[in-house]
Amino acid sequence: MSQKEEITLQSLAEKGEVKIGYSDNDIIVVDSIQKFAEINAAHIAMNVIMICTNGRIQAHMNGRPVELKKNQVAIVPQNVVVTNIMISPDFNLKAMFLNNSILQSTLRDKMVIWNDIMYIQHNHVITLKSEYLLIFSQFYDMLNMVIEHSHDNPFRNEIIHSILSAAILAVCGELKQMLPLNDDKYHLTSNHFQRFIKLLHNSEAKYRPVEYYASQLCISPKHLTSICKKYSGKTACDWIREQVIEDIKYYLKNTDLSIKQVCDRVGFSNTSFFGKYVKEHLGMTPMEFRKS
């Protein structure tokens, strides 16, 4: 496997490098990844909740360093670029890959906790207390029992989703404990801010003016910038620029897309301006960055 190959769950499963316990259109349960050491960079297309069952892993998530050790849980939101992956020889994990619809239908109004932790606090690792290790272990044992012994049950998928939903809610409860004491952010975070983050994060062509995102939210650009500043300390332009730069870096370093294709995918109208933008923010031309 090439170290700069774009990694998807499907490609890993096809190569036999992932042990899939359960899969449907919303959820994929992974029992182990035996050849994760060969991956240097990955684009995570789904939300992921993973527990390290042995060893440790170090990486950068959208440029931020993260370390995960045995009995810790990592939470990865959708469309994150993971780079500089280094793992111990004995590393292994169990994970749930979730699309946004199942996550939102499970958490509902509690999605604000997920978004606060993921996009504002940037806390992606939970150290589980012993009692929660036991709880999650029992969730997993129950899940395995249903997966292995309920093939004839007409409600098998619904049962599996119920168990996984309970596990997701338990994780969300732990996430809430990570918010600073006496922090009212959970209660006050603007619905418009949440919708903006979701819209930006799920857009392929992210290089668009603030006016575009504001119009999608039916608010003024000034108001969007104001609420972004209020709840995250960053302007809407800051959020857009950071996401655009991360996408550009990923596509240039980890795919075989041409410069023109990267330019088009991120949302630039011409390669000349795209080149100037990359030079301004990365200090080199797109081709120089790709070769660096």
- Cα–Cα distance between 150 and 159 in angstroms, integer? 9
**141 plus 205 within the same structural domain:** no
Total number of domains in the chain: 2
**236 plus 140 within the same structural domain:** no
**82 plus 168 within the same structural domain:** yes
**94 plus 204 within the same structural domain:** no
**154 plus 244 within the same structural domain:** no
pTM for the full model? 0.67
Closest of 28, 41, 54 to residue 255, by C-alpha = 41
Helix (H) or strand (E) run with residue 246 in it: helix 236-254
**161 plus 196 within the same structural domain:** no
How far is Cα of residue 247 from the mean position of the Cα atoms in its chain?
13
CATH number at residue 268: 1.10.10.60
Q: Residue 182 domain-assigned?
A: no
Tens of each residue's pLDDT in the chain, 292 residues: 344 445 455 554 565 555 666 767 677 787 776 555 566 777 787 888 888 888 999 988 878 899 999 888 888 887 788 888 888 888 888 888 887 777 877 887 677 778 778 776 777 888 877 787 788 878 888 888 888 888 899 998 889 888 888 888 888 888 888 766 555 544 444 578 878 887 887 788 999 999 999 999 899 999 999 988 877 778 999 989 988 988 898 889 888 899 999 999 999 999 999 999 999 999 999 999 998 8
- Cα–Cα distance between 260 and 73 in angstroms, integer? 39
**159 plus 228 within the same structural domain:** no
**100 plus 207 within the same structural domain:** no
Domain around 79? 9-177
Q: Residue 196 domain-assigned?
A: yes
The pLDDT of residue 186 is: 44
Q: Residue 145 domain-assigned?
A: yes
β strands within the chain, DSSP E: 18-23, 27-33, 42-44, 47-54, 56-61, 64-69, 72-76, 80-87, 92-98, 125-127
**196 within 8 A of 236, measured Cβ to Cβ:** yes
**137 plus 168 within the same structural domain:** yes
- Which of 109, 143, 177 is the last residue in one of the domains? 177
**161 plus 247 within the same structural domain:** no
